Amino acid sequence: MPVPVGILTVSDACSRGLAADTSGPALERLLIDKGGGHWAVVARLVVPDDKQLIAAAVREWCQPLGAAPGGAAGCRLVIIAGGTGISPGDVTVEAIEPLFSKRLWALATAMVIGSLTITPFAALSQVAAGVVGAAVVLAVPGSRKGSVENVQQILSVLPHAVDTAGAQDGTRGLHTSSGTPASKEAPAPVPAPAPGAKCGCARADEAGDGDASAGVPTAHGLSDKLGDSVVRRARKSPYPMTPVSEALDMVLSSVGVGPTASISLGELRPGQVLADDVVALENVPGYRASVMDGYAVVAADGPGVYPVRAAATAGSGEHAEMQPGEVVRVATGAPLPPGADAVVMVEDTELVSSTAQGDEESRVRLLASGQVVAGQHIRPIGYDQQKGAVVLPKYTAITAVGGEIGALATSGNITFAVKSPPTIAVMSTGDEVVDTLAEPFAKYLPFGAIRDSNRPALLAALRALGCPTVDLGVVKDDPDVLASTIRTALETCRGVITTGGVSMGERDWLKSVVEQRLGGKIHFGRVAMKPSKPTTFATVSAGGSQANSEGFVFALPGNPASALVAFHMFVAPAIRKIAGHLLGVDSSDPTRVLGVLRPSVTAVFDSEDIVLDRVRPEYVRGILAWDHTASRWAVRIMDRRQQSSRMANMQSANALISLPVGTDEKPAVLRNELVTAIVIAAVHF
């Protein structure tokens, strides 16, 4: 029976009737002519370059047959032509990637490699392939020629890919034709593929450890199946070791900028970012103002004795025009009377006489030492702020210094458009963890128990970024409780941070809970770094009052230093992006992007030589300071004992010293070498 196929053309021009769709018919003809009767196109649609419309069509077509009455559900192959370029309007890949339960990297690579043999411009296409439900989804270029060439490269393997993606009883039967009999002996208990398991033939590559028996990916992903006994758990992590830069890219591409809110001056707080330019509605000052306490004068009068006509103080209102031969006493900030064109400060005058009552000046002498020049000691109208000028530009961050809020207060505006840091929930996990924030405080700990330092530390770090927080307390190692707590938190919070439960212990349930109970997508489950290797990042569909359709979960290691290092490496940059910090940066320059979201400087290594790890790059906790003698940054190790369990090596640390993997040629970093210091707190001067 032919496999049902949907062909979606993405084109603004075609959707408006301004151009004919040639790619869709060409792809259909390719499947008919070259597909050996394997395919039947059952759905055709043209949509504009709109992420929501693209995603909606794919989501509907990939539903099981009959799941969408009146629709075109049941497609096992979906080909999308168009929107895969690199211009801002090309959004196909961004629309469909969140739908993928599995990325088919090799399939996409095969399309690109084949197309590159035809034209070098294939390098500018963002082709993509992945699994949605039981369907294989391909995104190819929009041109008739390019779309056909890309699909043609993989046409011979597409039937097997579709069969594998939809296999409900495992994939063993799909590979019997290869002539390789199944092993008759099993040296150790190995988890059998769960119903709907993906093809196990690529298991060793996915494991990243070269161990094909490390665990079989289930229908929910790579995590151990909840409810399995400890003997069936994976003995090595099935999650590939993701490079740090790739992990950060995954995080930043998975979180979008938060919504814009219009708030009053009194609601502004550090961590918010202006979403629009703020334009002054009035001049500051709105009148010619005296810079000094002294006397308003006519500069041409020069030194001499003059009668004091009146006094002008701040807020005293308007004055009659001043005549030559008289002066008016003025206070700092007070408006100058009309006719005055200079101010002589009080130190350059002498009292000559006072009124009969002796309480007011009647005549003063302007001394020659106070040479009078027109405009002297006067702030002209609009000197500090001109009406119509930009007071603070878009993307300005509100800080605790107070200068930004002070400037906005003078602008005359009532409300301000801002992006705000997200609300984040934080919880620690573990049956052995004692809640140090709960009352009454546990004076004595049972044997084997530990006090929770992770949650208080992370809550403090989040507050420093301006984040509203929700404290979820300490949650026991129970899959049902973990799932319920995270699910409820994501109804009102943009993200959840957990610590513990992400390594290889028999009660480390976080990855399994996210995938199997919450239906989340784990983007990475291990990172090639020291410490913080088990760091996990996932996105989960959110409900409730959550402004975005997806929330995120950062499942951080339980060791205190590991948790904080992972926070500053991945969580803090994500929060800054959501809060709008990325918006003002040239995204084509990765250095500038990282400079905003994860600031760093080059510094001199001011500690004893340190041996480099031969497996993973290391992020050593240190103190960054300005060396006034040499006029350069210098960084030294905070604590030579850098164990991930030791919170002391985070005390007073304001930088993570980025150390590369050691080699025979470069086994250590030596004193006075240049290193990269990632700034995580205020630096010392």
User: What is the DSSP-derived secondary structure letter of residue 230?
Assistant: G
Q: What are the residue ranges of CATH 3.90.105.10 in the chain?
A: 260-283+384-419
Average pLDDT, the chain: 82
Is the Cα torsion angle 120, 122, 126, 132 positive or negative in sign? negative
> Among 2.40.340.10, 3.40.50.300, 3.90.180.10, 1.20.1630.10, what is the CATH number of 599-679?
2.40.340.10
Query: Could you give the CA distance from residue 630 to residue 536 in angstroms, rounded to a whole number?
Result: 41
Q: What integer pLDDT is reported at residue 412 of this predicted model? A: 94
Nearest one of 470, 467, 469, 473 to 454, comparing CA atoms: 473
Question: Is the pLDDT assigned to residue 186 strictly greater than 50?
Answer: no
Rounded Cα distance, 137 and 30, in Å: 17
Can you say whether residue 602 is alpha, beta or left, with left for phi > 0 and alpha for psi between -120 and 50 degrees?
Answer: beta
Q: What angle do CA 441, 444, 449 make, to 5 degrees?
A: 95
Instruction: Give pLDDT, residue 685.
Output: 64
pLDDT-based confidence at residue 113 (cuts at 50, 70, 90): confident
The widest CA-to-CA distance across the chain, in whole angstroms, is: 121
DSSP-based three-state secondary structure for 165: helix
CA distances from 669 to 245, 336, 650, 665 (A): 21, 65, 21, 11
**401 is written with which tokens?**
């210094």
Comparing 257-266, 271-280, 356-365, which segment has the lowest mean pLDDT?
Answer: 356-365
pLDDT digits (tens, 9 = 90+) for 637-679: 876 655 555 555 666 788 999 999 999 999 999 999 999 999 9
Three-state SS at 608: coil
Query: Got the DSSP string for 375-422?
Result: TTTEEPTTSSB-TTSEEE-TTPBP-TTSHHHHHHHTS--SEEEEE-PP
| Cβ contacts of 132 within 8 Å, gap of 6 or more | 58, 59, 62, 78, 96, 99, 100, 101
C-alpha–C-alpha distance, residues 405 and 116, integer Å: 54
Query: Could you tell me where in the chain the CATH 2.170.190.11 domains are found?
Result: 289-379
Helices of type H across 478-589: 479-489, 510-512, 560-566, 572-578
Give 285-311 pLDDT, tens digit per residue: 999 999 999 999 999 999 999 999 877
- What gap in Å lies between CA 498 and CA 555, rounded to an integer? 5
Rounded to 5 degrees, φ, ψ at 284 are -130, 120
Could you say which DSSP state residue 527 is in?
B
- End-to-end, the C-alpha distance of the chain in Å comes to 74
Give the residue-averaged pLDDT of 146-161: 90
The pLDDT score that the predictor gives to residue 20 is 84
Cis peptide before 531 (omega within 30 of 0): yes
Tokens linked to 453: 């330092």
- Residue 82 · residue 13 · CB < 8 Å: no
CATH topology assigned to domain 260-283+384-419: Molybdopterin biosynthesis moea protein, domain 2 (3.90.105)
Give me 1's structure tokens: 């029976």
pLDDT of residue 496 exceeding 90: yes
Q: Characterize the bridge pairing of strands 521-524 and 536-541.
A: antiparallel
pLDDT digits (tens, 9 = 90+) for 194-215: 333 333 333 223 233 333 333 3
With beta carbons less than 8 A apart as the criterion, state whether 504 and 477 touch.
no
Mean pLDDT of 5-10: 93
Q: Are 26 and 82 in contact, with CB atoms under 8 Å apart?
A: no
**Location of each CATH 3.40.980.10 domain in the chain:** 3-165, 244-255+421-578
Rounded to 5 degrees, φ, ψ at 593 are: -60, -50
User: Using an 8 Å Cβ cutoff, are 135 and 77 in contact?
Assistant: yes
If you compute the radius of gyration of the chain from its CA atoms, what whole number of angstroms results?
34
Closest alpha carbon to 24 in 38, 9, 10: 9
Mean pLDDT value across residues 70-94: 85
Q: Which of 135, 100, 117 is nearest to 250 (CA)?
A: 100
Summarised one tens digit per residue, pLDDT across range 569-626 is: 999 999 999 999 876 555 555 444 444 688 889 999 999 899 999 999 999 999 999 9
Instruction: Please determine, for residue 80, whether its predicted confidence score (pLDDT) is greater than 50.
Output: yes
> What percentage of the chain's residues is helix, strand, coil (to nearest 5)?
25, 25, 50
- How many whole angstroms separate alpha carbon 407 and alpha carbon 172? 68
Q: What mean pLDDT do residues 422-442 have?
A: 83
- 156 Cβ contact list (under 8 Å, min separation 6): none
- Would you say 661 and 615 are in contact if contact means Cβ atoms under 8 Å apart? yes
Give the type of residue at 468. Answer: P
Q: Who has greater pLDDT, 18 or 275?
A: 275
The answer to whether 76 touches 160, Cβ cutoff 8 Å, is no
∠628-629-633 over CA atoms, to 5°? 50
Q: How large a percentage of the chain has pLDDT more than 90? A: 49
Task: State the CATH architecture for 289-379.
Answer: Beta Complex (2.170)
Does position 547 have pLDDT exceeding 70, yes or no?
A: no
- Cα dihedral sign for 306, 310, 314, 319? negative
CATH fold of 3-165: Molybdenum Cofactor Biosythetic Enzyme; Chain A (3.40.980)
Outline where 567-666 has alpha helix (H). 572-578, 590-597
Topology of the domain covering 244-255+421-578: Molybdenum Cofactor Biosythetic Enzyme; Chain A (3.40.980)
Structure tokens given for 206: 């996915």
**Per-residue model confidence (pLDDT) at position 506:** 64
